Amino acid sequence: MNKELSIPFALRAIETHQFAILEENYSEEAQGELLVSVNVGASDEICGVSIFFEVRFNFNDNPLIILEIECQFEVEESAYKAFVSEGNEQIIIPKEFCQHLGVITVGTARGVLYEKLKDTEFDFILLPTVDLTVQLSEDVVLTKDK
C-alpha cells in the first residue's frame, strides 16, 4: 500500500469499556505511575478500525484509576480494501494511520477522564501527552478469522 495515500475516515463511535476509582489505593506520600496500553482491531463488515486505549494511574503498584475506551473509525471502502492482503488472510494497517487514530483516541480518553474526575477529590489528575510512536512503531498486522 502506498503510505502517502490519503485515507478518508470518520469517527463513528466512542465507548467506555471500563472506569474505576479505587480510592483505597491512593496515598499522598506515594509516587504515582502511569501505565498505558494500545490495541488495534478491524472489521471488514463495516470497513472499520478500532483503537482500544487503556490507562492506569497506579500508586504503590496498585491501581487508583482505570480507564479503558474504544474509538471506532469508519474507513472509506476503497482505502480499507487496500489494507487487505492479496490472499485475504491479513489486514495490514499503516503505522502512521494507526498513530493518527491513536492520537485522536488518547485525546478522547483525556476528555472522558476529565469529566469522570470532575468534582471528585482526584480532579487534579490529568492524562498527560502520550507518545504513541513507541506502542505503534510498526504497521499493525491482523490475521483474519477463517
83-112 in b/e form (b: 16+ CB < 10 A) is bbeeeeeebebbbebbbbbbbebbebbbeb
Q: What CA–CA distances, in Å, run from 20 to 12, 58, 62, 63, 120?
A: 25, 12, 13, 9, 13
Please state, in angstroms and rounded to a whole number, the distance separating the CA atoms of residues 25 and 137.
33
Pairwise CA distance, residues 7 & 26, whole Å = 43
Segment 111-140 shows an average pLDDT of 95
Q: Is the pLDDT of residue 3 over 60?
A: no
Q: Identity (one letter) of the amino acid at 107?
A: G
pLDDT, average across residues 114-140: 95
Q: What is the pLDDT of residues 79-92, one digit of tens each?
A: 999 999 888 899 99
Which residue has cell 483503537?
A: 51
Please, which residues bridge with residue 71 across strands? 14, 51
Q: Is the pLDDT of residue 4 over 70?
A: no
Angle, vertex CA 106, rays to CA 139 and CA 3, nearest 5: 25
Position 2 pLDDT exceeds 80: no
Task: Tell me the whole-structure pTM to 2 decimals.
Answer: 0.92
pLDDT in tens, 22-81: 999 998 888 889 999 999 999 999 999 999 999 999 999 999 999 999 999 999 999 999
pLDDT over 70 for what percent of the chain? 96
pLDDT digits (tens, 9 = 90+) for 69-121: 999 999 999 999 999 988 889 999 999 999 999 999 999 999 999 999 999 99
Cell digits for 57?
494511574
Radius of gyration of the chain (CA): 17
Any idea which architecture 9-129 has in CATH?
A: Roll (3.10)
DSSP 98: H
Ordered by start, the domain boundaries in the chain are 9-129
